[in-house]
Structure 1
Amino acid sequence: MLAALLCITATGCSVTTKDPGYVPPAPLKPMEQLEKAPLAEAKAFSSGTDVLSFITADGTVACSLTSARGEHLNLPYEQNRYTDSANNKLPIVPVAHCELATYPAPQPGDIKDDCAGTHLGYLGGVALLVPESAGYGECRSGVTSMEATYGPKGTKAGPLTQLPVLPDGQTLERNGLRCSAYNGGVACGNVSAGVGFFVSPERYELIAGPPANSPKAQPEAPKTP
Structure 2
Amino acid sequence: MEPMRRTVWGMLAALFLATAVTVTGCSVTTEDPSYIPPAPLPPLEQLEKAPLADPKNFSSGGDVLSFITADRTISCSLTSARGEHVNLPYEQNGYSDAANNKLPIVPVAHCGLVTYQPPQPGDVKDDCAGTHLGYLGGVALLAPDTARYGECRSGVTPMEAAYGPGGTKAGPLTQLTVLADGQNLERNGLRCSAYNGGVACGNVSAGVGFFISPERYELVPAPAISSASPQAEGPKTP
How does the TM-score come out when normalised to structure 2? 0.86
Structure 2 residues without counterparts, runs of 5 or longer: 1-12, 229-238
The Cα of 1:153 is off from its aligned counterpart by 2.4
TM alignment of 1:175-190, pairs within 5 A: 175-190=188-203
Aligned: 1:9 with 2:13: no
* Counterpart selection for 2:183 from 170, 174, 196: 170
Contact 1:7 1:13 in 2 (8 A): no
Structure 2 counterparts to residues 122-201 of structure 1, below 5 A: 122-201=135-214
Distance in 1 of aligned mates of 2:86 and 2:120: 24
Do the aligned partners of residues 7 and 70 (structure 1) sit closer, same or farther apart at CA in structure 2, a change above 3 Å counting? farther
Indicate if the aligned counterparts of 1:38 and 1:170 stay in contact, CA closer than 8 A: yes
Task: For structure 1, list consecutive stretches of 5 or more residues without a partner in the other structure.
Answer: 216-225
Q: 1:82 to 1:7 in 2, by over 3 A?
A: farther
Contact 1:129 1:197 in 2 (8 A): yes
Amino acid at match of 1:42: P
Whether the aligned pair in 2 keeps the contact of 1:102 and 1:201 (CA below 8 Å) is yes
Task: Find the counterpart in structure 1 of residue 53 from structure 2.
Answer: 40
1:5 CA drift (Å)? 9.0
Residue 212 (1) aligns with residue 212 (2): no
The structure carrying a bigger helix percent of its residues is 2
1:76 has 2:86 as partner: no
Structure 1 runs (4+) greater than 6 angstroms displaced: 3-6
Equivalent position SS for 2:173: helix
Residue 9 of structure 1, CA deviation: 3.4
What CA distance in whole angstroms lies between the structure 1 residues aligned with 2:94 and 2:130?
Answer: 24
Structure 2 CA distance for aligned equivalents of residues 213 and 5 of structure 1: 74
Q: Distance in 1 between matches of 2:15 and 2:105?
A: 67
SS in 2 for 1:63: strand
Return closer, same or farther for 1:167/1:7 CA change in 2, 3 Å cut-off. farther
Structure-2 residue corresponding to 1:92: 105
The correspondence of residues 95-106 of structure 1 with structure 2, limited to 5 A, is: 95-106=108-119
* 2:33 alignment partner in structure 1: 20
Alpha-carbon distance, 1:4 to partner? 10
Summarize the Cα distance change of 1:4–1:203 in structure 2 as closer, same or farther, 3 Å threshold: farther
User: 1:152 Cα deviation (Å)?
Assistant: 2.1
DSSP-derived class of the 2:47 partner: helix
Alpha-carbon distance in 1 for matches of 2:201, 2:49: 13
CA–CA distance in structure 2, aligned partners of residues 47 and 121 of structure 1: 30
> Secondary structure in 1 aligned to 2:215?
coil
The residue type equivalent to 2:141 in the other structure is L
Structure 1 residue 48 displacement after superposition: 3.8
Question: Aligned pair count?
Answer: 213
Q: Secondary structure at the match of 2:46?
A: helix
Name the CA distance, whole Å, in 1 between partners of 2:69 and 2:17: 41
Pairwise CA distance, 1:28: 0.3
Question: How far apart are 1:68 and its partner, in Å?
Answer: 0.2
Task: State the Cα distance separating 1:8 from its structure 2 match.
Answer: 4.3
Partner AA of 1:79 in structure 2: Q
Where 1:31 maps in the other structure, the secondary structure is helix
Distance 2:15 2:152 in 1: 65
Deviations 1:135-169 (A, max 9, x none): 00001000000011111221111110000000000
> Take 2:52 and 2:112, find their aligned partners in 1: how far apart are those partners?
21
Q: CA deviation at 1:6?
A: 6.5
